[in-house]
Structure 1
Amino acid sequence: MSSVSTLDITPVAPTRIRDLADADFRAAYGCDRFTASVIVNRLKYAVGHMSTAFLREAFSPIIRDWYDFACTVSGPPEQDYRMAVVSNSLTPFLGTMPDAVRNTVEEYGPDRLAPGDVLICNDPYRGGTHVNDVLFTRPVFADGRIVSFVSMRAHQLDMGGTVPGGFSATKRDVYENGVVIPPVLLWSRDEPVRSTFSLIFDNTRWGAMLLPDFKSVHQQLRLGERLVRENIERYGLAAHLGALAYSCDTSAELMREALARVPDGDYTGSARIDADGLDDTVDYTVHVTLRKRGHDIEADLSGTSAQARTCINCGVSDAKTALGVALTMLLDPAVPFTSGTWRHLDLVAPPGTLLTALPPEGAPMMFWEASGALIAAVFDALNPFLGANAVGGDYGSTNTHNAHGIRPDGTPWTSATQCGGEHGPWGATKAGDGDSYTVLFNLNNLDPATETIEHDAPVVLLRKEHAIDTGGPGAHRGGAANLKDSLWLTDADHHLSPFRTREPSGVGADGGQAGPTGAMWIFPPEDGGERPAKLVPTTPEVYARSVPVAGVLDPETKTLDPENGAYHHFAARKTWRTTPGSVLRCLTNGGGGWGSPFARDPKKVLADVRDEYVSIEGAARDYGVVVTGDPHFDPEGLRIDEEATEALRARR
């Protein structure tokens, strides 16, 4: 439960950047306001240009189709490597990149770097996220000294370890997780370092796919360096460095003003992850206490469960990122991500927890699941006190799918993060209904095209649709859960990771109701054949022949039964093996509703019934709206029985 104790503190607000006199602005930032804005926007163009080129050239599907990378521009060592500009890409990278660049460069030694060097590191404890995410950073020199760093972090499809592709919650320690690369040079004065390339490509299963992406990263870093140097040549070094500071200060100021809208006090919240990859005897709780004083917030993670027995943990940099994501989403989504975003945030992070894992046992792989639970805990802490500004919860877990196998011609294949519940709904807000098909709050990526998925792996996507009656009821409805069926054409080994099916993650806001929990099933081929006899229906009777993977299900019918069902642990089998013709079904959780369901406009309920977001039964049960007609065969003939609706709402 959330709690608050208020304090009577009246802080003195610092001078705002927008209130600075022109002379004071120039003294602070080495240029005028217009020039600072131009330089920052030119740097945004630089990282956008790098991203576009990399996306166009990428061979790896997780980069090409998921946008699983980020580009940043940071300041020099004397500016503490502050990250000033980021690409519009994967959010967990943006929060961890300042620490990753600083820790990597400081450990290697900035005095050892030369023009044309590219330094890399993928250690989660040094820089956040997981071993598949490799940091590439390149110094920018001017007047014989480092004046900036242009950096990219890009997910590599495989970095060794016991599971091809890496995505699995069953690995026990860093040794099973994958190869760890400390800060080393990949290019020295623009010449490849053979020993580093050999270290990586001796440990990856798909070197032919990684190599062209590495070469592309090198070229994008060279492009970024050239664009930064062009700014310096045009506007001067003082203006460039001042603009970097201005960008970070602007984010800090916007976050400070957002925090000021929260009453001073102590706010507590929590969220759970169902289990780890061993069994269901241990569940994991993320606990946060937010102490708001003036323009600052201290987030204390004390009380969070000890680090997991498997690789579902995250590191402290990921926790820091999640804190920034949660507060910007709740208080001001317009705050740009720079190092300044966290200036007024303090993190109290005891070591060795689910959110602050330590090696060797505390391996981070599925890091976004634990950090996403921290976002949910912050929502739990603040939502009760935000009133109309509260935000409904999202679908909670990517339900990540990772599979591999051998084609009939003997060639290996892999499919990662494409055929599970990687996309799903958000919760509703005061602005409107929740989006029904997007990514978790702490992600920001694309949705792979169906044609691409089917090209890259022996799979056919049979169904990808919204599920009826799965959006949390409210004056604004939560986004509907996503139902995805994938047909596998060869033998396959699946690693499946739905982490939050025991209780709703899409919690309601400001009187809205929670979205229901989801589940995952495997339907073996019928009659021993290699293809299903027909498209697997969604009616209740079909589930009896399924193999439950995750969810709270009726023991006999194997349908969802969150009140009285039995919980199925997602890693009851370390590897879920299927034969040709098997169908994997993933149903995500639903998004949370906002506001009282009986305050929803009956016309919107009618539209939901027509669009099959809500059933006729659900309209009456959840919204008190009586709809007549047939939504499937005559959607335009649906009507509201206004008299019956008025009577039903009055009784409720």
Structure 2
Amino acid sequence: MTISAETTGTPAEFELDILRYGLIEVAREMNDALMRSAFSPVCRDILDCTTAIHVHSGDGWETVAQWEGCMQHAFTSPHIVNFAMDDFDVDSMQPGDVIFVNDPWRGTIHQSDVNLLRPVFVDGRVEFILHSTSHLVDLGGPIPGGFSNGTQTAFEEQLKLPPTLLYANDVPVRPLFNFLLENNRVPHLVLGDLRALYGCLVVGERQLRALIDRGGLEKVKAAGRYAIEATEQSMRRGIAAVPDGDYTVEDFLDDDGITDEPIPVRVTVKVRGDSMEIDFSGSGRQPLGNCGTAWCEAVRCIEAVKLMVDPSTPVNSGTLRPIETILPQGSVVCVLPPSSCSNHADIGPRCINAVASALSEAVGDRSIACDTGTALVISLGGIDTRPGHEGTPWGAFALTGGGWGGTWKEDGVSFCVTPIGNCRTSVQEHVEIESPLIVAQHEMVLDTAGAGQYRGGLGSVYTLTAQSDTMVTVTCDRVRTGAPGAAGAGSGAPAFGWYIPDFDLERHSDPLDLRGLEPLFGMFDDDGRPDPNGGEFCKGARYRTGKISGLVLKAGDAFRFIIGGGGGWGDPLLRDLDRLEEDVRNGLCSAEFAAQAYGAVLSGDHIDRSATAERRAELAALREQGRWSVPTAAPLTWTI
């Protein structure tokens, strides 16, 4: 159905509008059921899950409604169902069948993200496909958690399955369940999550059938098409407001975990009327390590466009229609099998950063700065040795939380995960009940936000101590330099990591006190002090990368990570002094960084307005001469 001025406000359209939100409500109830019944913290607490409803349209399937916990799944979902159903004969399916797939080259993001698809029959014909997806806490492979840093092929990773029947007529296919459960470290969590993923589809079918009974099949399908076209037209209006042109940006991944060579991510955004092409030609070759992706940047990068030109409409297949994406085969954004691509959590944010930066060039004074650009995913697992828990296998995840970039009208959001996920970290009380871990510290850190007229959001410190020996995988980028600023602003702080032997909260509570800590990665000076402006990459550190596998955290020891904030927006010498003074008073910006980056002259917590105006004029003149530039954010008051 095409929306036009002639049909606007008619009773038929009003009914379709009610039904399209009814479809969204079905997806929401599926997602609520999934999270309430999931066993692992990945789905239950972190929200690394999504539910969707697809309808057949033309030669393929389109997403009409979804409810995301993890934003990237909302964008990849339309393609996953088409990849899977191209392999599976829909005419041979029966009511109650459920397909399992986790193959990155058949649509999933990486092998840890499993997808369950359930056909909905009406009058003997498949009219809808219901879809649930979540990251599973483990599916075998060399390390717990699935981010197999250091591997070079998919054969070294977790189990990978093409579209395969998991339930037949609502009866579990025992051989497949046995295969999955006998090849991972935490079968109790995996079984619970698989049942939750299946159960939410049963809930969705029941609710969808009730909606069809109320509105009729044809009207519900028409409402789905209406939803897609409404979103498409809203996206096209947003794109049409962007000036036509070609806008090119290049960014980098630090390394691939095998070599220490930076990997370029180059994108050209071409805007023509109400359509757009996103071209990744010129990006780096397929990496040796696991940080490339099989295909999903074709749609995941569109998150940046959605956030900037059409943030309010629901995501469905209409979001994708106005945009074509070009992915060079054999590049970091389109690796070829059997390359490893388990670490998608750095290339994805980097592609979104690049597209957002290119669009910022196009829109000028309505630009935004980059977010932290890395999720700093921590995967943990092992065998519990605590009294009363001896021999119990366990697994957990953590997302540390960085900051989003400043915009043309406001400071960036602090202490949150990158937009690729839009997830939250584990509930710390659950971590400590279910795992031999204690989260000693998780809070914002001063001086991590990129300086600007509107600063970036602040990053955080995450300190965790183990009560049993723990296998740790760290997936981190933005170690060499932080998130770039926009419109003349400074970059956010990069990431740092340390190992803390014999952790004691009283001695080790200050995140800026480095005495007795072993550096794991970061930019350090000769004395071991973090210094992104003049330090050397991983100097004196245990690792030459932020992508680590096989780190053993001994019982009684701890690790600490600091993740940077978002880039700033605009000239920091123009930042409102009342705002800057409030940041200093609230412990978000030190007096030292306020002087260095903002030209502020302080007396206690108060800024001397007259002296600051003179100092800012001096810095502006030095900048004109090329003798001063906005420093990268980083705390300046370390104790070593």
What TM-score results when the alignment is normalised by the length of structure 2?
Answer: 0.91
The answer to whether the Cα contact below 8 Å between 1:518 and 1:590 also exists between their aligned partners in 2 is: no
Which of 502, 511, 514 does residue 488 from structure 2 map onto?
511
Aligned 8 A contact 1:616 1:628 in 2: no
Partner secondary structure for residue 534 of structure 1: helix
* Alignment map for 1:322-401 (pairs within 5 Å): 322-360=300-338, 362-401=339-378
Q: Structure 1: where are the runs of 5+ without partners? A: 1-14, 630-637
**How big is the shift at 1:625?**
2.9
How far apart, in 1, do the equivalents of 2:593 and 2:526 lie? 25
Which residue in the other structure is 1:647 paired with? 614
For residues 313 and 250 of structure 2, the distance between their equivalents in structure 1, rounded to whole angstroms, comes to 25
Residue matched to 1:552:
523
Number of the residue aligned with 2:598? 623
Between 1:143-152 and 1:547-556, the stretch displaced more is: 547-556
Is residue 312–residue 370 contact of structure 1 (8 Å, CA) maintained in 2? yes
Please state if 1:444 is matched with 2:422.
Answer: yes
CA contact (8 A) 1:462 1:535 kept: no
2:569 alignment partner in structure 1: 594
- 1:392·1:509 contact (CA, 8 Å) conserved in 2? yes
Which residue of the partner structure matches residue 237 of structure 1?
217
Q: For residues 457-485 of structure 1, what are the alpha-carbon distances to aligned partners after superposition, in whole Å with 9 as ceiling and x for unaligned? A: 22222222222112111121111121122
**Does the alignment pair 1:314 with 2:300?**
no
TM-superposed CA distance for 1:536, in Å, is 4.5
TM superposition shift of 1:53 = 1.8
Cα pair 2:104 2:110 within 8 Å, conserved: yes
- State whether structure 2 residue 458 is matched by structure 1 residue 480: yes
Do the aligned partners of 2:95 and 2:119 also contact (CA within 8 Å) in 1? yes
TM-score normalised according to structure 1 size = 0.89
SS at match of 1:131: coil
Matches of 1:433 and 1:604 in 2, distance apart? 10
CA contact (8 A) 1:393 1:427 kept: yes
Instruction: Determine if contact 1:84/1:339 at 8 Å carries over to the other structure.
Output: yes
Question: Any conservation in 2 of the 1:270–1:376 contact (CA below 8 Å)?
Answer: no
Do the aligned partners of residues 539 and 188 (structure 1) sit closer, same or farther apart at CA in structure 2, a change above 3 Å counting? closer
Q: Which residue of 2 aligns with 1:8?
A: none
Going from structure 1 to structure 2, the CA distance change for 1:566 and 1:435 (only over 3 Å counts) comes to same
- Tell me, in whole angstroms, the C-alpha distance in 2 between the residues paired with 1:46 and 1:272: 40
Q: Identify if the C-alpha distance between structure 1 residues 283 and 647 changes in structure 2 by more than 3 Å, giving closer, same or farther.
A: closer
Partner of 1:605: 580
Change in CA separation of 1:624 and 1:68 when aligned onto 2, cut-off 3 Å: same
Structure 1 residue 168 corresponds to structure 2 residue 145: no
Q: Secondary structure at the match of 1:87?
A: strand
Say if 2:298 and 2:327, in contact at 8 Å, map to a contact too. Answer: no
CA distance in 2, matches of 1:155, 1:138: 18
Instruction: Give, in whole Å, the separation in 1 of the partners of 2:588 and 2:196.
Output: 43
Structure-2 change in CA distance of 1:97 and 1:538 (3 Å): closer
Residue 408 (structure 1) shift: 2.3
1:566 and 2:541 equivalent?
no
> How far 1:397 sits from its partner (Å)?
1.0
CA distance in 2: counterparts of 1:314 and 1:573, whole angstroms: 18
Unpaired stretches in structure 2, ≥5 consecutive residues: 620-640
- Aligned twin of 1:301: 280
Contact 1:266 1:289 in 2 (8 A): yes
Larger mean CA deviation between 223-232 and 569-578 belongs to 569-578
Partner residue in 1 for 2:177: 197
Q: Report the equivalent of 1:405.
A: 382
Change (3 A) 1:572 1:432: closer
- Give the share of equivalent positions with the same residue, in percent: 29
Deviation string, structure 1 residues 544-596 (Cα, Å, up to 9, x no partner): x4322221112432433442323352268642223233221111122111122
**1:98 matched residue in structure 2:** 78
Equivalent residue in structure 1 for 2:265, among 273, 279, 286? 286
Question: What corresponds to 1:537 in structure 2?
Answer: 510
Aligned-residue offset at 1:128 = 2.6
CA distance in 1, matches of 2:179, 2:417: 34
What's the CA shift for 1:439? 0.9
- Please report how far the alpha carbon of residue 619 of structure 1 lies from its aligned counterpart in structure 2 after TM superposition: 2.1
Once the two structures are superposed, residues 490-546 of structure 1 have per-residue CA deviations (whole angstroms, 9 ceiling, x without a partner) of 3222222222211222x1122322112221111222xxxx75772253346x25x43
Q: Is the 8 A contact 1:285 1:304 kept in 2?
A: yes
Paired residues in the alignment total: 612
The equivalent residue for 1:10 is none
Structure 1 residue aligned with 2:625: none
Deviations 1:579-620 (A, max 9, x none): 233221111122111122122221111110111111122223
The one of 248, 256, 274 equivalent to 2:228 is 248
User: 1:87 is matched with which residue: 67, 71, 75?
Assistant: 67
Q: Distance in 1 between matches of 2:144 and 2:231?
A: 40
Task: Report the counterpart of residue 466 of structure 1 in structure 2.
Answer: 444
Q: For the aligned residues, what is the CA RMSD? A: 2.1
Distance 1:151 1:565 in 2: 47
